[in-house]
Copies of this chain bind each other. A is one copy, B any other.
Amino acid sequence: MNVTVIGLGLIGGSLAMALRGCPDIRITGVVRSEHTAQLAEERGVCDTVTRDPMAALADSDLVWLCMPPVAVLDFIKDHREDFRPGTLVTDVCGVKTAIMETAKVLPETVDFIGCHPMAGKETSKLENADAGLFQNAHFILTPGPDSTQEHIDLLEDLARYMGFRDTVLTTPEEHDAMIAYTSQVMHIMAAAVCDDPDLFLCSGFEGGSFRDCTRVAAMDVPLWTELFSLNAPALTKTISRLEDNLRSYRQVLEAGDTRKLAEKLTWSSDRKRRINLEHQRGDDAKLPPD
């Protein structure tokens, strides 16, 4: 089976590296820059590296679009007629509604299944790619209305080979609503904390919670600007709920209502302990960064 990975950045590079050695698979990497092509060759990231997407598409059974969202949207539109009949096309974007909408332009002979590997780092580019990036992460799929079970099974098998924790099947809308909460608002919150004037005064006073909560503020700005913008309706609702919850703690503190504060914290910490148990699912597995 010929797998073509378009874009060998952090995610595409890690994906190609994690797929290496998978039986009966030949991996072609498509890159734009000579620098990335050389680096991919040196590190043996793929079986073949090319700068010609057309040649690669003509020979692909599975095409994995590993670019930022807007580049993926453009690629689908520009190359809608260039995929071989029977090709399975997928992506890695952290938003799914916009991608699935645009994928409707593809001919019926092409099966597009949206994909979001829930892993990442605060660094980008092939230099930071890592075959172990997906260990224990969720692999989320949003199949199209005509996607075949065979193709879903294939992606699930590849995910298992790459070390993902599980495969989650969902709709683009549910994905985008959930991701606004579990990932996007975490990034906005981290940025909002770093916007505080005290940031450069706090050396010597920071502990683990500060490091953990602000880690993702050092984000890839062009990528996250696209992700936030393409999911603005769900994200703004989630931010608004967080503002309400924060205000509620502030007001209880301003009122000096210690009993109410303890009640609120008890409710909240009980919820956190319950969700820890659910997410643990009987093991002590650690989730990777995203």
Contact = CB atoms under 8 A, between A and B. Distances in A.
Contact of A205 (B118, B205, B217, B278): B118
Given A222-B262, A224-B265, A271 B194 contact: yes
Interface of A, helix, strand, loop or mixed by DSSP:
helix
Interface string A241-282: 111011111100110101001101111110111111011000
B258 A229 contact: yes
A187 B118 CA distance: 25
A58 interface: no
Given A168-B204, A178-B202, A204-B138, A210 B236 contact: no
B269 A225 contact: no
A20 interface: no
5 contacts: A181-B205, A196-B241, A208-B288, A208-B289, A229-B258
Interface of A: 118-120, 137-138, 140, 166, 168, 170, 175, 177-179, 181-183, 185-219, 221-222, 224-225, 228-229, 232, 235-236, 238-243, 245-250, 253-254, 256, 258, 261-262, 264-269, 271-276, 278-279, 287-290
